[in-house]
Amino acid sequence: MANELWCLQEEENQWPLWLKPLLNERFFVQCKSHVHSPKSECNMYCLDCTKNSLCSLCLNDHKNHRTIQIRISSYHHVIRVNEIQKYLDISSIQTYVINGAKVLFLKERPQSRPGKGVTNTCKVCYRGLVENCFRFCSIGCKVAGTSGSFEKRVKHTQNESDNSCNSSGVENNSSGAENDNSNLQSLSPPTPQFPPGSLRKRHRKGIPYRSPLS
């Protein structure tokens, strides 16, 4: 129990205190403090306050704080590399170039199946990655993929897969072969049995003759 608590504490200390609130925050909603302003869209976040997302007018109250801007690309939230790398270790996360700037995706983007020719995928959501040197497609996936609970779950799944392969050796294959043979026999019609002497001899058909003309 004490070891588990220690591991949980280590995971909490691995990341800045503002990271999980950032991942759970809602962006591009209307600012409640500046409802009547045309610039009331909340796309900023203060790493020192770790409270609600901010609009550009709210920044007046956070002049000496660390703030970052969230952007949208392909309906997903992204953040520029040059903004976040000062405060967070972004190694092993896939980067993309959008509008001439390097960005990271904030949260996972699950993909039903990787595209053809994809050799490397995100370790958490299995989205295809452009380069083999990366392991995660987003900041959220790195947080999830480096947690102790995720690593234990992956190891447990691998062990179950290995055990199932080992337990399904020759015996399962032989029984499967027997079942296949029995199925084939049941599908093939039985050979008819005739009593001795019951077979009738067939005379060879002779040459046909045409009837004489009348």
Structural domains of the chain sorted by starting position, each given as residue range(s) with its CATH number in brackets? 13-69 (3.30.160), 75-159 (no CATH)
| CA of residue 49 relative to chain centroid, distance | 33
pLDDT tens profile 98-147 = 999 999 999 998 776 766 778 899 999 989 998 899 999 999 999 999 87
Q: Which residue has the higher pLDDT, 153 or 93?
A: 93
Q: If pLDDT is split at 50, 70 and 90, which confidence band does 176 have? A: very low
- pLDDT computed for residue 25 by the predictor: 96
- Pull the structure tokens for residue 141: 């996936």
pTM exceeds cut of 0.75: no
Q: Which residue has the higher pLDDT, 39 or 179?
A: 39
Q: Is residue 197 over pLDDT 80?
A: no
Q: If pLDDT is split at 50, 70 and 90, which confidence band does 62 have? A: very high
- pLDDT computed for residue 114 by the predictor: 66
Residue 7 burial (CB < 10 Å; 0-12/13-18/19+)? middle
Backbone angles phi, psi at 72, to 5 degrees: -120, 135
Average pLDDT over residues 9-15: 68
* Cα 6 from Cα 31, distance rounded (Å): 39
Q: Which of 93, 96, 87 is nearest to 120 (CA)?
A: 93
The enclosing H or E element of 5 equals helix 2-14
Q: Please say whether the beta carbons of 144 and 126 come within 8 A.
A: no
Q: Which residue has the higher pLDDT, 103 or 208?
A: 103
**Helices 148-167 and 2-14: crossing angle, nearest 10°?**
120
Read off the DSSP letter of residue 201: P
